[in-house]
Structure 1
Amino acid sequence: MDLALFSEENFDPKTWINDVFKGQNKMDAAAMQQHASSLVMRLQLAIQEVNTSLEDTSQQVLSGLPRVVRDVESLGQEASLVKTQMAALMTDLKKVSCSGNNSSLDKLVRLDCLKSRLTQSAQALRQADNWTTLATEVEEVLEAGELEVAANKVVQLHRCLSVLAQTPDSEDRAALLNSFQLRIEAMASPHVVEAFTHHNLSSSIKYSSILRSVGRGLQVQSYYHQVQLTGLEAEWGALLEADPMTGPQPVCLAQYYDHLATLLHKQVSWVSEVFPDCEPRLLLCLLAIAAVTDLQPSITQVVSSAAKLQEEPLQLLCVLRAAMDNFLKQTKHTFEGRDGGSEALKEAGVVLSRAVYTPLANQLHYYQQYEQATLLAHLNSAAVMRTDVPETLLQLREYGAKMRAQCDLAANRCLQVSGLTGCEGLVAGVAGYVTGVVAVLAQARKAVAGLHKDITQDWTVFTTCLDLITTAGVVLMAVEECEESVSSTVASAQLCWDSPPPPYTLSPGLLLTPDRTNKLRDYITTIRDSNTGSLQKSVTEVQKECNACVSAALHTIISPIEAHLSPLPQLPVWGTHQPSSTLSSALSPQEYVTQMGQYLLTLPQHLEPLLMTPSPALNRALQQVTILDDVQHPGLRAVSESEVSAADFLICRVAYTTCQLYTEAVLHIPALVQHAQPQLITDIEYVCNILE
């Protein structure tokens, strides 16, 4: 019968009885009565057994109480005795202290020191005796090839040497110990390399422990790095052979970085077991640095060669930058973990980041060249220069509308390649691009200047002159927009100037030297705080070319006037004495002046389109020309934003130049007889009437 139920606190007799008689419903009354009687009998027997056990236990306790009392009394007596002895000892100590005689204590101290020295001497003698024995045993086990036994004995030899450091032959002993360590390393290194190569965890732990025990822990780490680098160099060579980075989308570097990142992630737990005495993530970070810097051929050389073969090297650099960022993102997740890593690991992370970005930093020296070549290639692909001058001007105006977009793309490329660290190269590249556009405009200007002889026969030349001025205005406005785009991009650059730079994130400190970093910061600050833009020299260059275009166009328009006035000083009428009967003919203008008048009278109808469809670009170009009366209005623009301003300016400039040329021609008449004066007056009045 299970009596444990009766000891429970929530024991219920009714529940127990019901459970006992459960399943007895099929019995008849007699059987049920017999079962109950049997159960009562068993309970009575159990009660008797429990009572007997209680009586026995009580008797044992009662019989043991006298002995317990005696033990307690004995402990009390011993405690009292100890107390008495301690009091006597304290009294003796006070007596010694009061007497001022410490000779007894000094003797005890000297005896203790003597004992310690004797113990050390005995130990040294034992170690000296052990040295000879251990050295002989090491020779034997090394010849037998038992590396673990030899390593243990070398450890014992090292302990002996620490005790025998002051002996005369300590240097010889140290040399012998070092030779044993080198022999063990030479014997264990092939096994270590093989274990590391095949990733055999048990063998790696075994042999690396042997080498660490004999003081060759750094050599074990070196073997590990060498084995891993051998495999990585083979992988790098295979990837280069499959993709020599000559295409527009090279993938070998990204594949190598992915392979290296995967290897580092898998090796964390393995390295922590093989190298328990060092930080595994730091060891792997050092491996990653070597895997990036010690390849043959180096990544920097491969990238430099590939950039020279690329038609668009900036596209290559964008792809490489993305691969580098992705690799550092993966390694940051592997190395930092939740705790962020130690300071040594953070410093190694900075070194790794700088090593990864070294190929990009090397290419940053050529960023201006790459960006300028990319922009000029776009200019050349537009085929702006045509054999027909009006078509060239039209193409140049259409291209001017695309220059802002090209500068925006250039700024975006700079952001993708260098995070705007190469913004100085960006500005210089855009400046070279503007110079290329200005050169095309200058060629068009020279072509228009060569049409001055055809303007009287072909009035489309006049329209071409206006198109030249308009084109110059379009280019000027486009360059001003480019300056705004580039300056706003540089001014809004969000760069990290921390020193040392943060790891795993591109910053100027990882791409530039400290001096170059400071100069870049000053350059960006100057652009951000000053009113002048980053392309001020380019804008000035375009303004000068714009002035030259306006001057060339006006010279071409005025060229017929010059042609008509060229024979004026040599006309025979000025020096011929005519009879009075022919003086009446002087009242009619001469042929040269009537030709001038006809040409001047046709100008307004050719300028009429400017009134119908005003051109902001034409006005902008003419605004670069200072007004004629610079004394009265210094620095004032010659043209306003009005619709009629451009036409007024052109007519006034033609009229002014006509008067100036006419005056110079008259002043060059060698001699003017009295009879010719009325003729000259008539010619001048005719010109004045035309101008009015």
Structure 2
Amino acid sequence: MDIKTFAEPDFDPKKWINRAWSSSGNQEKEVFVTNTVSRLQLYMKQLTNSLDETTTQILTSIPRVLQDASSLQLEGALLQQKLLSLEQKVQDVEEQTGNSIESLQRIDHLKSRLENAASALREADKWAALATALEEVLEAGVPTQNDKLIELAGQVAAMTASLEVLSEAPDYESKRLQLEALYNRLEAAISPPLIDALTQMDAERTAVYMSVFAGMCRAVSVCRCWRRAAAHRLLAAWRRLAPSAPSAPSAPSAPPAPPALARLLAADAPQQVEWLTNVLKVETPVGELLRLYTDVLLSLEPSPTQVVSANLKLCSTPDEGIIILTDLRREIDEFIACMRGIVDAPRQNKEVVVAATARELGRAAYAPLRELLPRYSEMQAALLRQHLDDKQLQDTENLVEHSRAILTVAERCEGWLETAFSKAKKIAGIAIYPYYVPAIENFISAITTMIFAHCRRIETAFLSTVSAGETAGVLSNTFPASLVLESAVAVLLDTLAARQKIELEEEEPKDEHQLSDLPSLVLEPDSRQQLATLRSQPQSSAELWRAKEQLRTLARAILRNPIDVLLDEIPQLAAWNNNDALSTDLPDFSLSPQEYITKIGQYLMTLPHHLEMHLSEKQAPWQFLSEVCIHTCDKYAEKVLNIRNMDALGTKRCLTDIVYLSSVVEDLGTNVTPSLKNLEKSLRAAAPTNE
């Protein structure tokens, strides 16, 4: 039996009895209770005996524990007395030895000052001897033998160390100035032979001279000399490669300067990095190389820009000039790729190149392209304008053929602009936009000017026809000429919108590397800020929309001209008044439409056939017909309202004409306008009825 259950805080006798009874099986209650009570009594007796024994043991051990505690307390008191006695002795010793220690400290400090004074005197003597020796070397001339240079390097290092020892001397500043003057003379003397060793890439001689500069703590001067030597060597190589003047067509072609320069620098770069790392022991070899190439690119004479510009002058066509600029971009990209490979190459103690240093090299490398991009804008505009030198565009006599020639140009613009954009991206990517957009606008402006000029010719021909008393209409050559020209403008607008959408979707992969961020390397800050606007805004569409609207108005004026001429006669017709009484009594069915309205009806009925001949599906012939019918109804109502003194018979005749016109309009699939319906209602209300 587990008696732990009885010790639980939530023990419930009833639950325990029920659980014990459920596990008793078929045993009788009295027997089960008797057995359980007996067992519990036995456990209680055992627990009581165990408690008695434990109590007896505790009572027996308490006196012994108390005796041990008293002994420990006595020993603690004795230990405390000993500690107090020891503390007193220590204080007495400190008081007795304090003065002696202070005396020793003063003696030691005095000894140190005496030793420093003696050392300073010795260093002063040594300094004087070294300064005299260095002065003699400078007077006699700096030696060029390696062993003597090594000895000079040791002497210089000793003078530098000696000056540091004399930092507390009263005449330290004068000695420092004297040493600086000696070092300046020494640097001026050994810089030329050091530059010569650097130019010849003589590692042994360079190392000896470097030890002299290191002794002077002027290692930076070695980098300056290296930069001068390397720049001189590269500039000399450039002068041998670059032609001083453009080659004549008949002369043997000189090597192209920009490609030769790119190959020269790309081949020189790894060697220079190795030299800076292993010979000059420079901590930032890549940064030094980038600064060197930046200085070289900015100091070239003749500059790459001048060379490429001279080649551009020899181009017979703008297309050749664009090819030269494309090749220039490719050559610069190859050089930049080489530089990126050096910058990103894995090496020990990976150097972090300063972003400004890399950006300066990039701008120097792309300087020829940046300076010649305005020339691209001129060449691209000239290349596009060449497409307008078409013989058909020179024919201004035949209005329709000239309009068709302009339509052909508009339809071919998509291919021309696509080609121009693909070439432009090869030159400068999205950075070309500040120069590409003006070229396109120049081309569109030239087409727009041509469209407006032809529009004025069509309008002049139309007005001349009207002034001569003739009618224009759908059969006039001015109508198809204006329609075809309007179609050309629509095609051009659609092409510009489609090209803008395509160009916006052609995003270049973003490369934020300092050497490949073309917009920042090629464009000035103001141009970079306008880049997004130039890409998103429509190109020269405002004037084209104005031309389209003007041509639309002109075409409809020409189409409505015969109707307008006939409608202008309505107020002056004699049929509206002065009719005799007998005629007034005639029944309505005896009246027929008058001649003017039948001519209008005939013209309207012939329009669908003629419009289909001149209009395309995009121009919607039914829309033209609907507009003409609406115009006719409204204009007819307006003219009728201007009739004065209309008599009863005139009213009947007018109603007959209105019914005829309404039937023609409805046969053409157009509804009669409200103004004409209201006029008809008014006239019927005023007309007399035949009884």
Q: Do both share a fold (TM > 0.5)? A: yes
TM-score using structure 2 length: 0.67
Aligned twin of 1:41: none
Amino acid at match of 1:280: P
| Matching residue within 586, 590, 611 for 1:607 | 611
Could you list the per-position Cα deviations for residues 287-320 of structure 1 after superposition, in whole angstroms to 9, with x for gaps in the alignment? 1121122334555676678779973565444332
What is the root-mean-square deviation in Å for CA atoms of aligned residues?
A: 4.5
In structure 1, what is the Cα distance between the partners aligned to 2:430 and 2:92? 85
Who is 2:188 aligned against? Answer: 186
Question: Counterpart in 2 of 1:213?
Answer: 215
Q: Residue 139 of structure 2: which of 143, 147, 172 is its match?
A: 143
Q: 1:115-134 counterparts in 2 under 5 A?
A: 115-134=111-130
Give the letter for the 1:617 counterpart.
K
Paired residue for 2:514? 503
Identical-pair percentage: 27
Query: 1:353 aligned to 2:362?
Result: yes
Match of 1:412 in 2: 422
Query: Are 2:501 and 1:484 equivalent residues in the alignment?
Result: yes
- 1:169 aligns to 2:186 (yes or no): no
Change (3 A) 1:281 1:239: same
Residue number among 399, 409, 418 corresponding to 1:389 in the alignment? 399
Q: Who is 2:273 aligned against?
A: 268
Give the deviation of 1:126 after TM superposition. Answer: 0.8
Deviation at 1:329, TM superposition (A): 1.2
What code does the residue aligned with 1:477 have? D
Alignment correspondent of 2:630: 656
Q: Is the 8 A contact 1:469 1:546 kept in 2?
A: yes
For the structure 1 residues 598 and 351, does the alpha-carbon distance in structure 2 shift closer, same or farther, using more than 3 Å as the test? same
Change (3 A) 1:541 1:495: farther
1:338 counterpart SS class: coil
- Assess, with a 3 A threshold, how the Cα gap between structure 1 residues 204 and 578 changes in structure 2: closer, same or farther: farther
Equivalent-residue separation in structure 1 for 2:613 and 2:641 (angstroms)? 37
Give the corresponding residue for 1:253.
258
Give the Cα separation in 2 of the matches to 1:544 and 1:173.
85
CA distance in 1, matches of 2:591, 2:520: 86
1:352 offset after TM fit, Å? 1.9
Gap change, CA 1:688 and 1:616, over 3 Å in 2: closer
1:43-81 Cα deviation digits (max 9, x unpaired) = xxxxxxxxxxxxxxxxxxxxxxxxxxxxxxxxxxxxxxx
Shift of 1:125: 0.4
Deviation, structure 1 residue 179: 2.4
Q: Is the 8 Å Cα contact of residues 431 and 518 (structure 2) preserved in structure 1?
A: yes
For the 8 Å contact 1:229–1:291, the answer to whether it is kept is yes
Could you tell me how far 1:652 is from its partner in structure 2? 1.8
For residues 667 and 615 of structure 1, the distance between their equivalents in structure 2, rounded to whole angstroms, comes to 37
Distance in 1 (alpha carbons) for counterparts of 2:239 and 2:142 = 39
TM superposition shift of 1:392? 3.1
- After superposition, residues 376-525 of structure 1 pair within 5 angstroms as 376-377=384-385, 379-381=387-389, 385-387=393-395, 388-423=398-433, 430=440, 433-452=443-462, 453=465, 455=472, 461-489=478-506, 492-496=507-511, 502-511=513-522
1:196 aligned to 2:204? no
> Any idea what the Cα deviations from partners look like across 1:621-680, whole Å, max 9, x if unmatched?
xxxxxxxxxxxxxxxxxxxxxxxxx23222221222233344444455577677766666
- Counterpart AA for 2:385: A
Q: Give runs of aligned pairs for residues 223-234 of structure 1, distance below 5 A.
A: 223-234=225-236
Q: Describe the shift of the 1:291–1:382 C-alpha distance in structure 2 as closer, same or farther (beyond 3 A).
A: farther
How far apart are the structure 2 equivalents of 1:665 and 1:484? 49
The change in CA–CA distance for 1:659 and 1:146 in structure 2 (over 3 A counts) is closer
- Offset, 1:173: 2.2
Partner of 1:75: none
1:194 & 1:550 partners in 2: Cα distance?
A: 80
For residue 270 of structure 2, what is the amino acid of its counterpart? H
- Deviations 1:499-532, CA, capped at 9 Å, x for gaps: xx523323544445778767757x69xx9xxxxx
- Aligned partner of residue 241 in structure 1, secondary structure: coil
How many Å separate the matches in 1 of 2:490 and 2:585? Answer: 52
- Listed as ranges, the gaps of 5+ residues in structure 2 are 1-88, 144-148, 466-470, 668-691
Instruction: Kindly state the Cα deviation for residue 330 of structure 1 after the two structures are TM-superposed.
Output: 1.1
Instruction: Render the CA deviation track for 1:583-610: whole Å, top value 9, x for unaligned.
Output: 99x9676665554444333323213458
Query: Which residue number in structure 2 is paired with residue 324 of structure 1?
Result: 332
CA distance in 1, matches of 2:256, 2:575: 86
* Alpha-carbon offset, residue 378 of structure 1: 5.8
Give the deviation of 1:239 after TM superposition.
4.5
**Residue 283, structure 1, aligned to residue 275, structure 2:** no
Unaligned ranges ≥5, structure 1: 1-94, 528-533, 619-645
Q: Which deviations, in whole Å up to 9, do the C-alpha atoms of 1:131-190 show, x marking residues without a partner?
A: 222222223222332443555433333333222233343333223222222222232233
For 2:559, give the aligned amino acid.
Answer: I
CA drift at 1:331:
2.0
* Structure 2 CA distance for partners of 1:435 and 1:486, relative to 1, 3 Å: farther
Partner Cα distance (1:290, 1:155) in 2: 33
TM-score (structure 1 length as normaliser): 0.66
- Given that 1:246 and 1:306 are in contact with CA atoms closer than 8 Å, whether structure 2 keeps it comes out as no
Q: Cα distance 1:475–1:154, how it changes in 2: closer, same or farther (>3 A)? A: closer
CA 1:175–1:541 in 2, change beyond 3 Å: closer, same or farther?
same
- TM-aligned CA distance change 1:513 to 1:466, over 3 Å: closer
Tell me by how many angstroms 1:326 deviates.
0.7
Q: Which amino acid aligns with 2:175?
A: R
State the Cα deviation string for residues 424-456 of structure 1 (Å, max 9, x = none).
665666566555544444444434434433746
Q: How does 1:572-651 map to 2 (within 5 A)?
A: 592-609=596-613, 615-618=616-619, 646-651=620-625
Confirm or deny: 8 A CA contact 1:577 1:675 kept in the other structure. Answer: yes
SS of equivalent to 2:515: coil
1:557-576 to 2 correspondences below 5 Å: 557-570=559-572
Shift in CA distance, 456/650, structure 1 to aligned 2, threshold 3 Å: closer
Q: Tell me the alpha carbon deviations over residues 202-246 of structure 1, each in whole angstroms, 9 at most, x when there is no partner.
A: 333333443443344333322332233233334444544357599
Contact kept, 8 Å, 1:564 with 1:592, in 2: the verdict is yes
Change (3 A) 1:590 1:308: farther
Cα 1:519–1:479 change in 2 (3 A) is closer
> Which shifted more, 213-222 or 671-680?
671-680
